[in-house]
Structure 1
Amino acid sequence: MQKIANFNQHELDRFKDVQALAYESVQAVEKQLTEGMTEKEAAQLIKEYLDERGVDSYLHKPFAWFGDRTAFTGFWSDFHFFPTNRKLEKGMPVILDVAPTVGGYTADIGYALSFGQSNPVLEQIQNTLLDIREYILKATLAEKTFQKIYFDVDEMISDAGFRNAHQVYPRRVLGHRVTKTHQSLYDNVSIFGFSSRQLQWLVPGIVKGLFRQRSPLWNDLRESDHPPLPGTWAIEPHLASQDGQTGAKWEEILVITEETAYWLDDNVPHVTQAKSSALQTVAA
């Protein structure tokens, strides 16, 4: 089989399957959300769904953010990312995020919704996020540097009247590499909710980035001042309203090869839902 970004097509299909399972889990939990449910309870439902379907370990265990926490309002340490006892109320924005591993293949996804009623601000953010998705692929194909793409996305966010929330993530990441690992009992050991095996790979990569070597992170720092690197990248633009009450994101795998780039799957929820809405608008 032809190698694509260090993986053959069969291996890429495995990544795709895990990504689809991850999205399946959050959409299943979306249907189970009820008023008064806490972030911790929603995150546990995601984990139970995935554990029952053969997930071996996690790059990171499930996150759930409700209300203004979707905008990362008041986040000043990494511990603020973990699910809390914040209770769900009607009309709240919600973000569900998880990174499962099956058979050594990892996917990292994010999913945004409004609970119980429509949220016009959230819808506007999601429309901007789709524009960003289109731009990231176009700019990657044009071989702009990772850093330049990050800056351009920042400008798109500002022009749309929102603010960049992904700069709150560790190392300000817009994206990061996802890789295949060899399974062992070590995979089930986690540190603060993150897989110890994946951290063993990721942390040295961060150190390399500090010394301008190739980093597994995509951000606006000098470590990303280089053309697109071949590989499988989990991209996660995250936007917030200026008042800090509403946030939304998506996260999915971008495949970059020596010759081209493409989204691993165009049938992810944020894309299919947008297409469905467009068809309904035309029909009306």
Structure 2
Amino acid sequence: MSHSAVAQDTEHAGFVEMQRLAYAGAQAVAATLEPGVTERQAARRLRDWLHDHGVQDWFHTPFAWFGDRTAFRNFRTPLQFFPSNRRLEDGMPFILDCAPVRDTYVADIGYAGRIGDNPVHDQLMTDLAEYRTLILEQVRQRRPLREIYVEVDALITRQGYDNRHQVYPGRVIAHQVARVHSRLPQAIVAGFGVRALQTLLGDLLVERLHHRSPLWADGKISQHAPTPGLWAVEPHIAFRGVGVKFEEMLVVTEDDAYWLDDAVPHVQRWRGTT
């Protein structure tokens, strides 16, 4: 039995289901995209689709980035991450990103695609596969998270691309994921669900006591072996104004690691099954 199959039969089954639902929503909305659609319209379509399929809350509401915004071109403030009135054009790349919550289970996914032909996007997507392999191998070797981040940077340099996950708040390439348990009323503040944020902040306080962080970046606080649990991992690369990424959950145990589920769109693409 594969690790992914094991994950579906154990306590991770709810996370597998949520991740598949989130990706199904992204694919469904991607199929509706056409020239003239704005980022805000795409994000609203994804939010509505997920609500219609039982999503009750959010770690963060859906994002959509079109064109050179997929590469975070000239992003300098957090507000620039939110969906804009940028309209999709033929040949443009896009990224859909969402983090829904249902029955306390969370998913956080990123889905990259294009409208029409875009050879740069296609090459980036092909090269992105190497990051999934590298990250898993390095985590299995129990290398410090900070050093794995540096290895990812080195691969980006070798491929001749730009590191765009370093533009995310905190320069994070990943963050821990846990079931959402909170008595706070459901509310969204600046695109983030307050109940999921409370869970993350609680994890942050606990991890800081152990001189660790639930946020994986290139700072000193990430100079420790991979912490057991679930991590939403999102390497993001770009070239000539085109950005691509995947985001999916990685399971880390005391002595091993494996991707939560191999039935994700980017892996199926690399295997030629889609």
| TM-score, normalised with respect to structure 1 | 0.90
Inter-partner Cα distance in structure 2 for 1:227 and 1:60: 27
Asked whether the equivalents of residues 106 and 178 of structure 2 are also in contact (C-alpha less than 8 Å), the reply is yes
Cα distance in 2, alignment partners of residues 94 and 41 from structure 1: 13
Segment drifting more, 191-200 vs 147-156: 191-200
Give 1:33 deviation, angstroms: 0.4
Deviation readout 1:222-265 (Å, 9 max, x if unpaired): 11100111000000000111x3x100000000000112100000
Look up the match of 1:142. Answer: 141
Cα 1:224–1:9 shift into 2, 3 Å: farther
Residues 62 and 99 of structure 2 are in contact (CA less than 8 Å); yes or no, is this contact kept in structure 1?
Answer: yes
- Is it true that 1:191 corresponds to 2:189 in the alignment? yes
Amino acid at match of 1:268: V
C-alpha deviations, 1:92-114, integer Å up to 9, x for none? 01000000011000010001011
1:142 partner amino acid: Q
Tell me by how many angstroms 1:128 deviates. Answer: 2.1
Are 1:29 and 2:25 an aligned pair?
A: no
Tell me the residue number matched to 1:257: 253
Partner of 2:244: 248
Is the partner of 2:24 in helix, strand or coil?
helix
CA distance in 1, matches of 2:205, 2:88: 39
| TM-score, length-scaled by structure 2 | 0.93
For structure 1, which runs of at least 5 residues remain unmatched after alignment? 1-6, 280-284
Residues 143 and 227 of structure 1 are in contact (CA less than 8 Å); yes or no, is this contact kept in structure 2? Answer: yes
Structure 1 residue aligned with 2:18: 18
Distance in 1, Cα, partners of 2:249 & 2:260:
6
Q: Is the 8 A contact 1:128 1:157 kept in 2?
A: no
Amino acid at match of 1:24: A
Q: Name the count of aligned residue pairs.
A: 268
How far has the Cα of 1:129 moved from its partner? 1.4
What is the CA deviation profile of residues 157-181 of structure 1, one whole-angstrom value per residue up to 9, with x for unaligned ones? 1110101000010110010001002
- Cross-structure match for 1:122: 121
Counterpart in the other structure of 2:53 = 53
**Cα gap change, 1:196 to 1:204, in 2 (>3 Å):** same
Secondary structure of the structure 1 residue equivalent to 2:10? helix
Gapped regions of structure 2 (runs ≥ 5): 1-6
Q: How far apart, CA to CA, are the structure 2 residues paired with 1:196 and 1:234?
A: 19
How far apart in 2 are the matches of 1:201 and 1:143?
A: 26
Match of 1:276 in 2: 272
Distance in 2 (CA, whole Å) between partners of 1:209 and 1:79 is 28
Q: Which amino acid aligns with 1:162?
A: Y
Alpha-carbon distance between aligned partners in 2 of 1:134 and 1:271, rounded to the nearest angstrom? 11
> Does the CA-based 8 Å contact 1:239-1:249 persist in structure 2?
yes
Mapped partners of 1:34, 1:14: distance in 2: 33
Shift of 1:185: 6.2
Percent sequence identity over matched residues? 45
In the TM superposition, what whole-angstrom CA distance separates every residue of 1:9-35 from its partner, at most 9, and x where no partner exists?
A: 533011000000000000000110011
Q: Secondary structure at the match of 1:276?
A: coil
Question: For 2:178 and 2:50, how far apart are their aligned partners in 1?
Answer: 19
Q: Distance in 2 between matches of 1:99 and 1:181?
A: 12
Q: Which amino acid aligns with 1:266?
A: D
**Counterpart for residue 4 of structure 1:** none
Q: Distance in 2 between matches of 1:25 and 1:8?
A: 20
Deviation at 1:201, TM superposition (A): 3.0
| CA offsets 1:67-116 (integer angstroms, 9 cap, x no match) | 00000001001110000000000000100000001100001000101112
Identify if the C-alpha distance between structure 1 residues 9 and 221 changes in structure 2 by more than 3 Å, giving closer, same or farther: farther
- Is 2:227 the counterpart of 1:229? yes
Question: How far apart, in 1, do the equivalents of 2:224 and 2:108 lie?
Answer: 23
Q: Which amino acid aligns with 2:27?
A: Q
Give 2:252's aligned amino acid.
Answer: I
Instruction: Say which SS state the counterpart of residue 128 (structure 2) adopts.
Output: helix
Contact (CA 8 Å) 1:112, 1:248: kept in 2 or not?
yes
Q: Distance in 2 between matches of 1:171 and 1:131?
A: 24
Query: Residues 177, 9 of structure 1: CA spacing in aligned structure 2 closer, same or farther, 3 A cutoff?
Result: farther
- The equivalent of 1:267 in structure 2 is 263
1:155 aligned counterpart, secondary structure:
helix
What's the CA shift for 1:204?
Answer: 5.4
- Name 1:201's counterpart in structure 2: 199
Moved over 3 A (4+): 7-10, 203-212
Offset at residue 189 of structure 1 (A) = 0.5
AA aligned to 1:12 is H
